Amino acid sequence: MRVTPAVVADEYEWVRGRADVAVPLVNETRAHLGEQFGADVARIDGADYREAVDAVFADGDRAVNVAALVRLLRDLDVEGDYPGFVVDELLGRELAAMLAGDQPLRLLAEATFHVADVRTHGDPGDAAGADDLDAAIAAGIQTRLPGWPWTEGESPFSV
């Protein structure tokens, strides 16, 4: 695989165009996690999603890595799927983390990836990495965006 600025631009457009798939999954994941943690978590819309994608791809160093992971997951297929289970999970978790940003959001996105992944099922005939790609996008974007009560306001641990 060769990654060029044109490839990054293509993957940016592809990810940005996934709002119709990603936004419902983000909101479903937020609702599920909100129930688990007793939190009222804000929903997002297509504009929120596209703004977050724009921010990720505006950082060229992050964008090239995100684009490479997206492209890998879009094409990843392993005969019988199970032998490839580890690699698509690994790539998906890393993509979610990159989309979310720096720590502690990065780690939260990795954990959230697994929550979103069990709620995502690709269509028959899709590459094995397709559902992991959607789960990674949802987990990373949902973690990056505000809406969780604990992210509102200053941390009580700031010195």
**Per-residue model confidence as pLDDT tens digits over 9-44:** 999 999 999 999 999 999 999 999 999 999 999 999
Residue 94 located in a structural domain = yes
**pLDDT value at residue 149:** 83
With a cut of 70, say whether residue 148 has pLDDT above it.
Answer: yes
For 43-64, write each residue's pLDDT tens digit. Answer: 999 999 999 999 999 999 999 9
When divided into structural domains, the chain yields a total of: 1
Residue 34 located in a structural domain = yes
Residue 15 located in a structural domain = yes
- List the domain range (segments joined by +) for residue 12: 5-149
**pLDDT value at residue 78:** 74
89 burial via Cβ count (<10 Å: 0-12, 13-18, 19+): middle
Residue 159 located in a structural domain = no
Residue 156 located in a structural domain = no
With a cut of 80, say whether residue 159 has pLDDT above it.
Answer: yes
Residue 158 located in a structural domain = no
Residue 56 located in a structural domain = yes
Residue 154 located in a structural domain = no
